[in-house]
Amino acid sequence: MRMIEMLSNQVRVDQAILTGESSSVEKELKITTTSNAVYQDKTNILFSGTVVVAGRARAVVVGVGPNTAMGSIRDSMLRTEDEATPLKKKLDEFGTFLAKVIAGICVLVWIVNIGHFRDPSHGGFLSGAIHYFKIAVALAVAAIPEGLPAVVTTCLALGTKRMARLNAIVRSLPSVETLGCTTVICSDKTGTLTTNIMSVAKVQDDTKLLFTLLSNVCVVESANRGPVVSEYSVSGTTYAPEGIIFDSTGMQLDFPAELPCLLHMAMCSALCNESTLQYNPDKGNYEKIGESTEVALRVLAEKVGLPGFNSMPSALNMLTKHERASYCNHYWEEQFRKIHVLEFSRDRKMMSVLCSRNQMHILFSKGAPESIISRCSTILCNSDGSIVPLTADIRAELDSRFNSFAGKETLRCLALALKWMPSIQQSLSFDDEKDLTFIGLVGMLDPPRDEVRNAMLSCMTAGIRVIVVTGDNKSTAESLCRKIGAFDQLIDFSEHSYTASEFEELPPLQQTIALQRMALFTRVEPSHKRILVEALQHQNEVVAMTGDGVNDAPALKKADIGIAMGSGTAVAKSASDMVLADDNFASIVAAVAEGRAIYNNTKQFIRYMISSNIGEVVCIFVAAVLGIPDTLAPVQLLWVNLVTDGLPATAIGFNKQDSDVMRAKPRKVNEAVVSGWLFFRYLVIGAYVGLATVAGFIWWFVYSDGGPKLPYTELMNFDTCPTRETTYPCSIFDDRHPSTVSMTVLVVVEMFNALNNLSENQSLLVIPPWSNMWLVASIIITMLLHILILYVHPLSILFSVTPLSWADWTVVLYLSLPVIVIDEVLKFFSRNPVGFRFRLWFRRSDLLPKKDLHEK
């Protein structure tokens, strides 16, 4: 609606649902002349869904349904399509690649064994072909990591559970992993980086100007030898009436209410106020009703306390939280009776209230410092309570402090004043608001969260860029960014901070460069957030976007991972992938670390499964090439596949985070799940697993005391045994001992390989086996199951195995343990890539061709 008539002194509207900014906007009838005006600039327009917090007006409807701000947000959400997560894309690619490779290997194994189809042991060519077809099928079943979907889901579910304990509630399971490859976090300012609780930060008076960090309070201490300005700092950044007031030297004030300026400041804050502070027992915190700035003044009055009580402020702590919420405010409201109120108006920029106490009438005023100070003729001194004329020197000093608060420190400033009125006066007029007595300045801010600075440093260390996105003005946002460390590494902010209109005016090439440098984006509205996300995604960035209002829904839906605030709207939550229960930026950083750990665990599972499956392929392939009997029967292959794909693989999902998980740069979106070096490691480990299995088989025939101790050539010519004379029975090749030894070697070596996968690059000396007791327990259970099929008769017949002697077990351990040593060596090279130095040496400039040298 467009306003056409004012029916009160002012109209203020809370537009947080559209802009995310907690401060209400004052509306007026004048036409908006701002170019590229955002919602906050359209001061003559009332938007559907927003709330009028003060005043009355008449307006004409200029848009309904899809033509409203809400309608445009809905349309924007409908145009946004869901995209597959990076992990899903890479797993799909990996699955397709694996299927092709396994199909090729199975066909190759069957073809390689064509020469054995006619072996007499098979009873004919067709029977031999069917036998080796079964082996190929068993190999395919063994090689395909069918446990991958279950383990990935388990990893994500476990990560979701851990993240819930960190106050990050996941709505979309795949988004857990997406956090791990996030390269840019676009974070809301209000409520996420800050507490979204307006609090007094400084107080100033004269005689010493008083400042407080509940707000900044500035008062005049004395004017006898020139103006002496004191600053008082007030601790506490919530609405809780708990905090300490410190003087300019950092000393705590035991009885703040004994100082005249602070006492009258508390009176004015309590009486010239229309807000309410109350305790919510269900949520266990203090809540506001009304304007944030007015509630901050009520909290200041509570922290100043009451005069004349030596037990202050400890006596207040004995009250219940419900009583404590506004105890001091209620005291002043009982002491003074409100007679008349002059509401805030845009032209005056102040409000006043006339109060009476013991036949004494006092006018209390608060408002913009420039308006209040210009109406003051005297000033209250904090040292002795005297009232002295407001000289030009004092006025200049106050103006200087006000400019410091509003400029450098970007505080929201209010000035407080009073005036003794005739006892017969029962109403106020605008003419009464002159010749006031100045009490002090109060500077308020929405303070940054304590933990945000460390979270910002963690992001920088992890190679994640943070862009602060806000509807607030540029100077206020830049001040906050300095406080939280977002600009710590920057010398000049000019190329890193942009308003939405400034960014839109840049040519396309300059916009691309600006996106690569941007750290702050101010005066934005919903369309700008969505444009920002799309532009970053076009630069192959993985974007996490935070938001809490209806206005944020399109950007949350478009982002790779949308993060809604727990205190936000239902629309924002439904469009998001994750909800922060505590609205805290630090929880996002913790969730990023969890996402990286989940991806690492997924890679470890794939590595474990692929290296084990390569071992099974190598085992069968080498046996066929060497011409020795089949090392494993199909049912034994399936058993190994069952025990290795089962508990140990699932338990890898419980691996703890690596200590350096947040010191690594984010992985690239197009990075393969299995890189070249990793695949080489898979091949080395897999080759050893296969060769160790074959070695166990050969050992029993050639060297075992319980075996026939055949020459190796006899083993290679086993298929001709029935056609020639031998010193041993041909039935020896049907003995179950050799395949039992090879199967046991395969199972045990894969259990040791599972321990290798506690970390991709960290040694077992750094991350010991007991760091994941689930994995240790799964290995124990797996070995008990394997022993069960060896020594329980019906099961041993079913799996074509036989009990092993102690000597057999000793050889099994000798053949299995080296897999740990081999992987430790490979991990060492991963941590210390000496090979890169070798390659770099060959790329020295004096060895490059002239063309390459020119390009370099």
Closest C-alpha among 307, 300, 437, 425 to residue 364:
437
Determine the Cα–Cα distance for residues 628 and 720; give it in Å rounded to an integer. Answer: 11
> Which DSSP symbol is given to 525?
-
Q: Which amino acid is at 546?
A: T
Determine the Cα–Cα distance for residues 385 and 394; give it in Å rounded to an integer. Answer: 16
The long-range contacts involving 387-395, CB below 8 angstroms and separated by at least 24 positions, are 387/437, 388/223, 390/438, 391/223, 391/227, 393/226, 393/227, 394/206, 394/220, 394/223, 394/227
Determine the Cα–Cα distance for residues 94 and 340; give it in Å rounded to an integer. Answer: 76
CA angle 685, 688, 690 (to 5 degrees): 110
For helices 125-143 and 86-112, give the axis angle rounded to 10 degrees: 160
- Residue 366: how many other CB atoms lie within 10 Å: 26
Determine the Cα–Cα distance for residues 55 and 27; give it in Å rounded to an integer. Answer: 10
Determine the Cα–Cα distance for residues 402 and 390; give it in Å rounded to an integer. Answer: 16
Strand segments, DSSP code E, in 314-359 are 337-342, 350-357
Half-sphere exposure of 425 (CA within 13 A, CB side): 19
Using alpha carbons, list the distances in angstroms from residue 154 to 490, 605, 651. Answer: 42, 11, 9
**Can you tell me whether residue 641 is helix, strand or coil?**
helix
Before 313, cis peptide (omega within 30)? yes
Q: Is 684 exposed, middle or buried (0-12, 13-18, 19+ CB in 10 A)?
A: middle
Residue-wise DSSP of 390-459:
--HHHHHHHHHHHHIIIIIS--EEEEEEEEEE-TT-----GGGSSSEEEEEEEEEE-PBPTTHHHHHHHH
Phi, psi dihedral angles at 318 (to 5 degrees): -85, -10
- Residue 850: how many other CB atoms lie within 10 Å: 7
Q: What share of the chain is helix, strand, coil (3-state, %, to 5)?
A: 50, 15, 30
Determine the Cα–Cα distance for residues 348 and 284; give it in Å rounded to an integer. Answer: 39
Q: Are 332 and 271 in contact (CB under 8 A)?
A: yes
Exposed e or buried b for every residue in 793-810, given b needs 16+ CB within 10 A? eeebeebbbbebeeebee
- Residue 542: how many other CB atoms lie within 10 Å: 24
Determine the Cα–Cα distance for residues 742 and 813; give it in Å rounded to an integer. Answer: 12
Ramachandran class of 773: left when φ > 0, alpha when ψ lies in -120 to 50, beta otherwise: alpha
| Tally of residues, the chain | 856
How far, rounded to the nearest angstrom, does the alpha carbon of residue 576 sit from its chain's CA centroid? 13
Determine the Cα–Cα distance for residues 352 and 363; give it in Å rounded to an integer. Answer: 7
Q: Which positions are catalytic?
A: 188
Closest C-alpha among 257, 295, 300, 255 to residue 274:
295
